[in-house]
Amino acid sequence: MELRQLRAFVEVAAHLHFGRAAEALHLTQPALSQRIQYLERELQVRLLARTSREVRLTPAGEVLLAHAKRMVEEEDRALDAVRAHASGVAGRLRIAYYTAGDPMLPTHIVAEFRQRFPNVSIELRHGYSVANVHWLRSGEIDVAFVRMPMEETEDIRVIVVGEEPYVLALPSHHPQAHRRKARIHELVNEGWVFFPRALNPGQYDYVRRVIEEALGVPLRVVREEPTEEAMVGSVADGFGICLCSLSRSHQMRVNGVTYRTIEDADPVSRLALLARSEENGVAVTNFLDVARELSRRSPARRELTRRA
């Protein structure tokens, strides 16, 4: 028993007319009659009583009709689901946020995607950059937010969706806190609070290199903290000074800490969206398109796409 035979039977039962049923199915009447005959032969029952004046269901046909309708409707739902998934308007998208970063832009991108594609199920998790890349490569997620630069992204698509300067977080009593701009080269004797290199070696090396070029000597790391909040908290506790992204400095007003822009160095924080280079799912493509569009709306954000 084939679904096309059941569909033919359901259509004839709906119209009680072979001509109109054939037209609805885009079949010829002989082809439609043949499908009904095959179905009756397989079931070994008469489903339709047909005369020159009318077509009606037999008792066996009435029994089959309800079951046939459910099977045809289930097939229609399955086909609709497959088409929706293929077009990217339905399905599943697994996203990893960057734990230590400003959540505003990622959540804005996700919210815009949800509005445009409400039937796509979103699964969210949070991780540091290295963990997010690991999940991406292992297939546990589809897209990931990270801080750039990162090591070993040759096989990954990278879209930089946000770029902003770092500022210096200083104890409020520090001499440089009373200036309009801080000067890194005058901080050679200061201890620095940094994030652990293991969380993102590429970003760690980049930030440290920019600072040391301005200092002229190796910087002295006195404490490591995993997030900007914890790093700024350590500054408030008197352990040293640190860098903080501009957006986070606006959100984190901490007693005893003053933020200053930097005069003699220009380290920048880049938020990027990653996807596997071989990934060609429509939902992922649509999400990347939304991210590109939103990143272009603000002159403070630059968009860069790189394919390995």
In a shared domain, residues 168 and 215: yes
Q: Could you read off the pLDDT of 42-60 as tens digits, one per residue?
A: 889 898 888 878 888 998 8
Residue 17: the pLDDT is: 87
Within a domain: 257: yes
The set of residues, in sequence order, having a beta carbon less than 8 Å from that of 307 and lying 6+ positions away, is 157, 277
In a shared domain, residues 113 and 40: no
CATH code, domain carrying 81: 1.10.10.10
Q: How far apart are CA 308 and CA 296, in angstroms?
A: 22
In a shared domain, residues 245 and 119: yes
In a shared domain, residues 51 and 140: no
Digit-by-digit pLDDT tens for the chain (308 residues) are 788 888 888 888 888 888 888 898 899 989 988 998 988 888 898 988 888 788 889 988 888 888 888 888 888 777 766 766 666 555 789 999 998 777 788 999 999 999 999 988 999 999 999 999 999 999 999 999 999 988 777 789 999 998 999 999 999 999 999 999 999 999 999 999 999 999 999 999 999 999 999 999 999 999 999 999 999 999 999 999 999 999 889 989 999 999 999 999 999 999 999 999 876 688 899 999 999 999 877 544 443 333 32
In a shared domain, residues 136 and 82: no
CA distances from 176 to 27, 49, 229, 234 (A): 84, 96, 21, 18
Surface-to-core class of residue 195, CB atoms within 10 Å of its CB (0-12 exposed, 13-18 middle, 19+ buried): buried
In a shared domain, residues 32 and 125: no
Which residues form the domain of 267?
A: 106-308
Residue 277: the pLDDT is: 85
Number of domains present in the structure of the chain: 2
Domain final residue, candidates 60, 87, 114: 87
In a shared domain, residues 62 and 125: no
CA distances from 161 to 28, 157, 200, 201, 306 (A): 56, 13, 18, 20, 12
For the record, the structure tokens of 242 come out as 């640190």
In a shared domain, residues 120 and 71: no
Q: Could you read off the pLDDT of 252-268 as tens digits, one per residue?
A: 999 999 999 999 999 99
In a shared domain, residues 113 and 73: no
Q: How many helices (H) and strands (E) does the chain have?
A: 10, 13
Within a domain: 145: yes
Residue 77: the pLDDT is: 76
Within a domain: 94: no
In a shared domain, residues 69 and 110: no
Within a domain: 290: yes
In a shared domain, residues 116 and 155: yes
Q: How far apart are CA 76 and CA 4, in angstroms?
A: 12
CATH code, domain carrying 170: 3.40.190.290
Asked if 165 contacts 302 with a C-beta cutoff of 8 angstroms, the reply is no
Within a domain: 78: yes
Within a domain: 134: yes
Q: Could you read off the pLDDT of 6-42 as tens digits, one per residue?
A: 888 888 888 888 888 889 889 998 998 899 898 888 8
Residue 208: the pLDDT is: 96
Beta strands 268-276 and 156-171, pairing class = antiparallel
Domain final residue, candidates 30, 60, 87: 87
Domain final residue, candidates 20, 53, 87: 87
In a shared domain, residues 83 and 110: no
